[in-house]
Amino acid sequence: MPLTAEQTRLVKSTVPVLKEHGTTVTKLFYDNLLDAHPELKNIFNEANQVHLHQPKALAHAVYAYAAHLDDLGALSATVELIAHKHASLYVQPEHYAIVGKYLLEAMQQVLGEAMTPELLDAWTAAYFQLADIFVKKEKGMYETAAKRWTDWKDFRITKKIVESDEITSFYLEPVDEGLKPLPKFLPGQYISVQMEVPILGHDQTRQYSLSDAPWPNHYRISVKREGGLDPHAAGSKAHPGLVSNILHDNKNVGDTVRVSHPRGDFFMEPAHAGDDSPLVFISGGVGLTALTSILNSLVAGHATREISWLHAARTSDARAFTQHVRDIEKARKNVHTVFFDATPKKEHIQGKDYDHEGRMDLTKLDRELELHLSDPKTEYFVCGAPSFMVNMEKALMGYGVNSDRIKMELFGTGGIPRAS
């Protein structure tokens, strides 16, 4: 049942409070929820809880929902992004009832007497209205995979290839041969990988971009090892690289991990693959994985559109797929590459190992050959850390590029940042 005008007014009246105290509400919510339902720890990223990334992200989402309660169309992109994330974690309808109970209780605890019965009723109606939107959307996603892939599947590591000082590729094949040929994902999408983390005593799940064109028998992910982890230190449980380090150090050929159906709203539209408008790929660090999938798919499809590959790494040794991309450039006249090294090593040669020293700086690039700024149909795919994506979007918009031509990948928690 739609919210009444009075309920909408009441919920929107809490926007200033949520802006100021939202994280207090959501941190309390997560603490209470996971105390009562420890089985849900398999879904939530432990490090994001400890460092408050998850509570802050949820607080922002709740605030945005309340602020746009009478204009939900403004949140369609965010709903799409979150629904893909939920579907990759196999969130079920019953989970929304559990979450609703503890979220509303946390609001009551923080707001105290300000949470009148009328306001509680209004927020209850608002929450379950949003939950219904997600349930219906995710139901459609699950139905597309219902014939063969309805839950986590065991995949065996068949190859483990070191791509750089930081990044290693894992080739994953389904244990169940009946799953072959694998679903043909959209280049740029990701899978969730779930595994036991002994130090935590429960499973953990992470999303990794698929880093190659679709193949019928295997998926490939390329994972960056997050440095600075001492597995014996007291704070190791909260380290953001805990799972990536387990993959690098403890998972080898023959081992299995659990994998979700591919998801994600960052991808190359198949209908656009044959377009003649230019493409500009801009990535930082391990952000190149999703773009490698798109590039390899375009090459496999013999695409002739102009493609610029712009990548920034800490050093050439940290960059994955350098030779692979250089080989594509040599073989195809429509592909042009530019590499930035933040801190080049003495033995690395400019013009050979890298093209520019320092962080990614679009002012150093040719406006036409490398950025294709004069073509109003040029599409820009940006992938990297949040600050990197914000800076690249600001720079592109400063050149007059409309935001609808800039596509950005989500890394971590909290949604896609947008340049203001």
Locate 40 and state its tokens: 């849900």
**If DSSP codes are grouped into helix, strand and coil, which group holds residue 73?**
helix
- Catalytic residue positions, numbered: 96, 138
Cα distances from 359 to residues 276, 311, 312, 347, 391, in angstroms, run 30, 10, 7, 19, 11
**Other residues' Cβ atoms within 10 Å of the Cβ of residue 123:** 23
Nearest to 209 by CA among 221, 224, 219: 221
CB atoms within 10 A of CB 11: 23
Can you give the length of the chain in residues? 420
The answer to whether 188 touches 290, Cβ cutoff 8 Å, is yes
Distances (CA, A) of 268 to 281, 284, 302, 335, 369: 11, 19, 15, 17, 22
The structure tokens listed for 160 are 């483990």
Kind and range of the H or E element at 23? Answer: helix 15-36
Sheet (strand 153-162) strand order: 202-209, 190-197, 256-259, 153-162, 167-174, 219-224
Pairwise CA distance, residues 292 & 325, whole Å:
9
CA distance 198 to 277: 49
The Cα–Cα gap between 43 and 264 comes to: 17
Residue 168 to residue 160: CA distance in whole angstroms: 7
